[in-house]
Amino acid sequence: MDQIAIINMRNGEIKPHGERRLSEDDLARIHGWIEERAWILANRIIGDIHRTVDYLNFTTQWVQSKATPDQLDMVTDDLRSTLLHKKG
């Protein structure tokens, strides 16, 4: 497999590798790869969010059924600062 281009997924920039000139077929395949890769990355983020929701549900259950006051004190500040950091 030969590297034919460098792709920047953030801005869609396609740079031919070395002195190579990209054909219309090359560009069509690259654009297809970019679309597929973007779909994969978007679905990976959704999966991460689902896992986060699962962890939050687990945390809620732990807080309500098993956590001691000292344990709650240890994690409450961390959780609060994480949530408020984004807001501020």
Q: What is the pLDDT along the chain (88 residues), one digit of tens a residue?
A: 789 999 999 999 999 999 999 999 999 999 999 999 999 999 999 999 999 999 989 988 998 999 999 999 888 887 778 777 655 5
pTM beyond 0.85: no
pLDDT of amino acid 50: 96
DSSP output for 1-62: ----EEEETTTTEEEESTT----HHHHHHHHHHHHHHHHHHHHHHHHHHHHHHHHHHHHHHH
Q: Shortest CA distance to 31 belongs to which of 19, 20, 39?
A: 39
If DSSP codes are grouped into helix, strand and coil, which group holds residue 67? coil
